[in-house]
Structure 1
Amino acid sequence: MKVVKVHVVTPDGPVLEEDVEMVIAKAQSGELGILPGHIPMVAPLQIGVVRLKKGTDTELVAVSGGFLEVRPEKVTILAQAAEVASDIDVLRAKAAKERAEQRLRAQKSDVDFRRAEMSLQRAINRLNVTNKHF
Structure 2
Amino acid sequence: MFRQASRLLAQTLRAGLRPFSSDLPAAPTSDSAFIESWKKVIPNIEPPKTPSNFLRPRPATPTSIPSKITVNFVLPYASELSAKEVDMVIIPATTGQMGVLPGHVPTIAELKPGVLSVHEGNDVTKYFLSSGFAFIHANSVADIIAVEAVRIDHIDPSLVQKGLAEFTQKLSSATTELEKAEAQIGVELHSALNSALSG
Q: Same fold (TM over 0.5)?
A: yes
Q: Distance in 1 between matches of 2:195 and 2:188?
A: 10
Structure possessing the higher relative contact order (Cα contacts under 8 Å, 6 or more residues apart):
1
Consecutive unaligned residues of structure 1, counting only runs of 5 or more, are: none
Q: Is the 8 A contact 1:15 1:82 kept in 2?
A: no
Select the residue among 78, 87, 107 that pairs with 1:21: 87
Deviation at 1:111, TM superposition (A): 4.9
TM-score, normalization by structure 1:
0.80
Give the drift of 1:98.
Answer: 2.2
Query: TM-score, with normalisation over the residues of structure 2?
Result: 0.57
**Counterpart residue number, 2:70:** 5
Aligned to 2:104, the other structure's residue is in SS state coil
Amino acid in the other structure paired with 1:60: K
| Structure 1 CA distance for aligned equivalents of residues 189 and 174 of structure 2 | 22
Count of equivalent residues: 132
From the superposition, tell whether residues 109 and 60 of structure 1 become closer, same or farther in structure 2 (CA, over 3 Å).
same
What is the rounded CA distance, in whole Å, between the counterparts of 1:19 and 1:131 in structure 2?
28
Deviations 1:33-71 (A, max 9, x none): 111122322111122112222223332211112101112
Query: Any conservation in 1 of the 2:92–2:112 contact (CA below 8 Å)?
Result: yes
| Structure 1 outlier segments of 4+, above 6 Å | none
The answer to which structure has the higher strand fraction is: 1
- Asked whether the 8 Å contact 1:15–1:84 carries over to 2, the reply is no
Query: Cα offset for 1:19?
Result: 2.9
Which letter maps to 1:64?
A: S
Q: Deviations over 1:2-60 (max 9, x none)?
A: 22222322223223444321111232233321111223221111221122222233322
Structure 1 or 2, whichever has the larger Rg, is 2
Within 5 A, what are the aligned runs for 1:6-85? 6-17=71-82, 18-71=84-137, 72-85=139-152
Question: How far, CA to CA, are the matches of 2:93 and 2:107 in structure 1?
Answer: 12
Identity across matched positions, percent: 25
SS at match of 1:129: helix
Q: Select between 7-16 and 73-82 the one with higher mean Cα deviation.
A: 7-16
Whole-Å separation in 2 of the counterparts to 1:43 and 1:97: 27
